[in-house]
Structure 1
C-alpha cells in the first residue's frame, strides 16, 4: 500500500504545475508509429513526483529489459563492494583473475567500468555472443581475446569489460552477481521488479552485467533518487558519498575519445570527460562537474538525472526494430530528447492560477520529423521563426504581446530545441508548410530572425499564396548554393576540417555563450536566454556534413514575383553578412521597406524588444 501511495498524486501534480502535453505527444507518436508496443515514463523534481504516464500496453510496473540502462545499476552494485573495502577501483584484473597474464590483466576495475580498459567491445562475429553466460563463463571466453588498445588510452564503449568487473565483484564478495545486486541495491530500495536475469529460461545462465537487467519505471526512479540524494534512501545510507562521487566523476581523461560518441550525437558535446563509472556525463559545468547524467539503452530505455532542473526521469520501452529502422529512427539517439523536453517544461512552468494568455503546446509531424510548437491568441496567424543556436525562447518578449491581437505560433526548427534532429535530406521551408497544414493555417504572416529569416524568405518564394506578409531581421537570402547543387569534394573537405576543429575545441559552451553575447548590445540582460540556448543546443549542423536545407542563392530569381508586403527590421550594428542578406531581399521584392533599430545587433528583437515589437505591430496592422 505504501508503494502505491508513494505515486498516488502524480497526475494531479503534473496537471496543476507543469504542462507535459508535448512530452506525452512525442511518446504517443512513437507508439502510434509502431516503434514500441508501449512505453512508460516518470519524472520527479526535488524529490517529488511531477509526471507519470503509460502508453500502449505498458503500465508503470511493466518489466522490460533495459539493455545498457543496467550499466548504472551494475556500477552502483560494484561501488557498494568498494564501500565494504573488499575491492578497490584501482585493483588490476590480474589480482582477482590471475589467468589474465597479458595486457588485459593490467586494466583496472575503474577502467573496466569506464570503457577505457582496452578490451574489445563485444565478442567477435562467429563466436558465441556474450548474453547467455554466467560471469565466470564469460570471463573464460573473454580471456583469449586480444586487447584492442592499451588500458587507459582510448574510450571504447562496450560490454565485455563489465562482465570482467562483475566477476571481480563476485570473487571479492563471495556471492553470485544477482544475489549481490539484490543485497546491495534492490532490496534496500524496494526494487522488487528489478533483476539481472537471463533472457532465456535456462537455469544458471546470467546475461551481460552491463546489459541484461530488467526493471520497471517505478523501481528505477527509486535508484535515481538514491543517486540524487547522495546515496541515502529513506534516511538510510546505501552508498557512500565517496562512491557517488566516483560514479559521477570524469573517469575517461586523458584517454582518446573518438568522434561520434553518444553525447556528441545527442547534445553536440565533444568534451573529454564524457563518462564516469557506468554512466554518461552528457553535460558539464565549466569546472567539470556533471550537469546531466544518463544511462541509455539501445532498445529505448533512458534514465537520467538533471542537476539544472533538479529532475530525475525514466523512460522505458523496448523497440520493435522492424518498423523504425527503415524510417531512420534510432531509439538510442531518440529517447534523450525527452530529457530536454522535461527540462524546458520544468524551467518554464505555466503561471499559477489562470494564465493571462493560454498557450497550447504540441508536436507536429513534418515528414520524418516532429516539430515542437507553441500557439496562443486569436486573430490573423503570425509565425515566429528563430535564429541560429536559439529556439522558441528567442521570442519570449514578443509572443505574449502579439497574442493579444493575433494567433501566434512559434516553433523549434528541425535540429533545434525540442524538435527532431535531421536524419535525411530536408528543407526547412517544407517543414514550415507541413506545420501550417497540421495547424490548419492556410495563410500567415511570417516573422523570421537570422536563420528563421532565411527560412521565411524561402517559404514565401515557394508558396507566395500562403504568405500574408514577410518580416525579416538579421538575414533574408542565403548566399550558399541550393539543395540541387551537390557538395563538391573541396566543399566536403572544408566542412570536415571545420567539424574537426570544433571537435578539437571540445565544443566549449563558454565559447558559444561568448559568441551570442558578442552579437548582442544587451549581453547581460539577454544572458539567461543565451546561457540556456548554449547549454541546450544540439549543435547538429556544426558537427555534421548535413544536407542543404535552405534554397540559398537559387531563391533570388523568385523574389521579384513576390507581391506581399515585406519589412526588414535592420539592426544598426548587425554584422555585415546579415545586413547584406536582408538587403539582397529588399533590393528584389517590389513591396519592401526597411526600419533601422538603433543599438541593435544580430538579434534585434532581443536588443531592442520594445522598438522591434512596435515596428512589427505597426507593419502588421497597416497590412490588414
Structure 2
C-alpha cells in the first residue's frame, strides 16, 4: 500500500509581497505563506492510480502567481489532450470576438445567416445557441453518424433536417449540436473557417500554440467541433483563463471587450424550463441562473453576478475562475475508464473547494495546524487555536473538521480548542482494511502528542460515538464529555471481526454503491441530512454538501475495520463508574428518540437545542454554542488539562 503522506512533502512556499504606506513613505514587507496542496495532490494521484486517468496535470494561479503546478502519471508539460466540453468556453470567446468586430450580434437569428433553417430552429438566436436554450437536440440521434465532421458546413447540413426539440428560449438542454450552427454563422460572417477565426482572435494573441479545434477526432466523446473537439495543453488554457479573469486583457493587450466578458458571464437561461442540473449536483444550489455563454455560473453573489465560473467536461478536464479569491485553475485530464462509480464530469469540480481549503488554512492567524502520527503510522491532520483548558472537537461521518467552523473560533475565546480530521476523512490518511486501530485510540494519540493530559471532549454523530468510546476506555483523560446526536452505535466491535458471510453482504453493498454512482450515493446521503418533511433545511445545504462532496467515500467502498467499540461499549461503561460530567446534546426535532447513554450513565444530562435536528451545530450554531458553554461554565477547572 502506498504511503499517502508522501504527498505532504511537496508544500509550496510562496513569498507574498505586501505594501504598507502613507502619504509620506512606503515600506515593503514580506510574509511567507505556505500553501499545502498535499491533500489535493493525493486525491488526483488516487484518480490516476485507480485507472480513471492515465495521467493528469493541474495548475493553480492566485493574484497572477502560480502557487501550484503538478503532473501525474504519464502527463508532462508538453502533453496535449482533447478536453471535450472544456472547449465550449474557448468557442464562446471566439464567437464573442466576432461580435466585438460588429460582424455578428448575439441576437442574430439563425435564418439570417442560414436561410435553409425554415422551421423553428431558424428562429433561435446566437445567444440561445450558446446557452443551450435554442430548442435544438443535444446531439445527433441514435442511428445517425456522430457529429465528427471536419467542417462546420458538413455538420450544419446534417442538422438542418433534424426536428426541433422545443421552441427557442423555453428549455435548457445541455449539448453541443447548436454550437455548430453558431460556429457556421461566424464563418459566414467573417469569410473564414472556424480554426482560422480561433487562431487569429484567441489562440495567437494569447500564445496558445498547442490549442486547436481541427482536425476533429473520430474517437467518441471528442465532437462536435465547437462543443467537444478542442485539444490543448496545461499552460495554454491557463493563458486563456488569465485573459478572462482580467476582463478580456492579456499582458496589457485587449483580446475581448469588457462587454463581451460581461455577456459571457451573465445569466442567459432566463425563464427557460430546467430539470436536474450540473450546478445543483455539484454545488447543491437549486438556482436557475446557472449558465452564461459557453460557461457555467456555479456560484453567484447577492446581485446575481457570477463569482465561480467554469466549463467542465465529461473527460475530466476542468477550467475554473474563482473571483472571490482571485484564483483560476485548470485540470488537464482525459478519462481512460469509467469504473467504481467514479464520474469524471462530476468529480473534477471538487477542485475549487479543495483550493479554498488550502487558501483558508494558509491564511489562518493565531492558528497552529499540522499532523500527528499514530502508533500504527496513520497521519491525523489537526488545527489548534486559543488558550485555556483543552477542548477537542470531533466531526461526524462524511464530514471533516470544518464542520466546526461556527464554533472553532468562538470557543477559542475561552479554551485551547483543537479540531482534527478522523482517520479516513478530510486531510488525514486513508485506512486499510487490515488495520486494528480505534478512533478512540487515535484521539488518545492526538492528546499524547499535543501534550494534553485531560480535555473537554465534544463530538457530533460519529464524533458522539467516539466520545462514548473514549468514556469507556479513557475516562481518566476527560474533563467533560459532550455527545451531540450521540449514543451507543449498534454495530459489531473489534472483538467480532468480519465473518465470511458478513464480508459477502458488505461486498454486495459496495457493488450497489458503486453501480449507483458515487455522486448519486453521496446525494442520497446528503438529502437524508438536509431535508425534513420533504423540505430543504437551507442553512445546512452548503456546508454539509461541501464536506460530503470532498469526502473520499472510503468507508462505504471497503470492509471498514472496527474503528468503534460498537456493541462492546455498553459493557465497558457499565463495568465502571463514570464520574466526569457528561452532556447529551440533542436537537429538539429528535427529542422523542430514546438515548441509552442516559440509562447507562445516570449522571449524564440531556439538553435540547431548539430549532435543530441531527446536525445541530450547523442548523442552530448559536444555540449549540450557547448550550455547550453553559454546560462547560459549571465545570470546576481542571488542574491537569495540560502537562
CA distance in 2, matches of 1:418, 1:114: 38
Residues 410 and 381 of structure 1, relative CA distance in 2, 3 Å threshold: farther
- Would the aligned equivalents of 1:600 and 1:607 in 2 still touch at CA under 8 Å? no
Tell me the equivalent position of 2:403: 391
Tell me the equivalent position of 1:73: 90
Residues 222 and 599 of structure 1, relative CA distance in 2, 3 Å threshold: same
Structure 1 residue 70, shift from structure 2 partner: 0.3
Tell me the equivalent position of 1:307: 323
Superposed CA RMSD in Å reads 5.1
1:270 aligned to which of 286, 308, 315: 286
- Would the aligned equivalents of 2:248 and 2:255 in 1 still touch at CA under 8 Å? yes
Q: Give unmatched runs, 5+ long, in structure 1.
A: 1-9, 363-370, 420-429, 487-494, 517-531, 548-554
Indicate whether 1:239 and 2:256 are aligned.
yes
Residues 463 and 598 of structure 1, relative CA distance in 2, 3 Å threshold: closer
- SS of the counterpart of 1:152? coil
CA distance in 1, matches of 2:88, 2:436: 39
Residues 209-288 of structure 1 correspond to what in structure 2 (within 5 A)?
209-259=226-276, 261-288=277-304
Indicate whether 1:177 and 2:194 are aligned.
yes
Deviation digits for residues 508-532 of structure 1 (CA, Å, limit 9, x no counterpart) = xxx834x79xxxxxxxxxxxxxxx8
- Would the aligned equivalents of 1:20 and 1:345 in 2 still touch at CA under 8 Å? yes
Tell me the equivalent position of 1:577: 589
- Would the aligned equivalents of 1:305 and 1:313 in 2 still touch at CA under 8 Å? yes
Residues 475 and 447 of structure 1, relative CA distance in 2, 3 Å threshold: farther
CA distance in 2, matches of 1:35, 1:592: 53
Deviation digits for residues 374-428 of structure 1 (CA, Å, limit 9, x no counterpart) = 3258xx9966115999725345338989997x986235997xx899xxxxxxxxx
CA distance in 1, matches of 2:45, 2:62: 23
Tell me the equivalent position of 1:326: 339
Residues 413 and 37 of structure 1, relative CA distance in 2, 3 Å threshold: closer
- Would the aligned equivalents of 2:396 and 2:463 in 1 still touch at CA under 8 Å? no
Higher alpha-carbon Rg: 2
Tell me the equivalent position of 1:588: 599
Structure 1 residue 290, shift from structure 2 partner: 1.0
Residues 43-82 of structure 1 correspond to what in structure 2 (within 5 A)?
43-82=60-99
Structure 1 residue 216, shift from structure 2 partner: 1.4
1:316 aligned to which of 332, 337, 341: 332
Residues 256 and 480 of structure 1, relative CA distance in 2, 3 Å threshold: farther
* TM-score normalised per structure 1: 0.72
* TM-score normalised per structure 2: 0.70
CA distance in 2, matches of 1:222, 1:333: 24
- Would the aligned equivalents of 1:267 and 1:538 in 2 still touch at CA under 8 Å? no
CA distance in 2, matches of 1:280, 1:537: 22
Indicate whether 1:341 and 2:354 are aligned.
yes
CA distance in 1, matches of 2:596, 2:190: 72
Structure 1 residue 621, shift from structure 2 partner: 5.9
Tell me the equivalent position of 2:26: none
CA distance in 2, matches of 1:440, 1:418: 18
Structure 1 residue 137, shift from structure 2 partner: 0.8
CA distance in 2, matches of 1:174, 1:478: 74
- Would the aligned equivalents of 1:301 and 1:316 in 2 still touch at CA under 8 Å? yes
Tell me the equivalent position of 1:512: 538
Query: Once structures 1 and 2 are overlaid, which stretch shifts more, 297-306 or 285-294?
Result: 285-294
Tell me the equivalent position of 1:106: 123
Residues 227 and 240 of structure 1, relative CA distance in 2, 3 Å threshold: same
Indicate whether 1:92 and 2:77 are aligned.
no
Indicate whether 1:40 and 2:57 are aligned.
yes
- Would the aligned equivalents of 1:155 and 1:256 in 2 still touch at CA under 8 Å? yes
- The number of aligned residues is 540
Structure 1 residue 577, shift from structure 2 partner: 2.9
- SS of the counterpart of 2:319? strand
Tell me the equivalent position of 2:452: none
Deviation digits for residues 126-182 of structure 1 (CA, Å, limit 9, x no counterpart) = 211112431111101111111111111111000101111111111111111111011
CA distance in 1, matches of 2:379, 2:188: 51
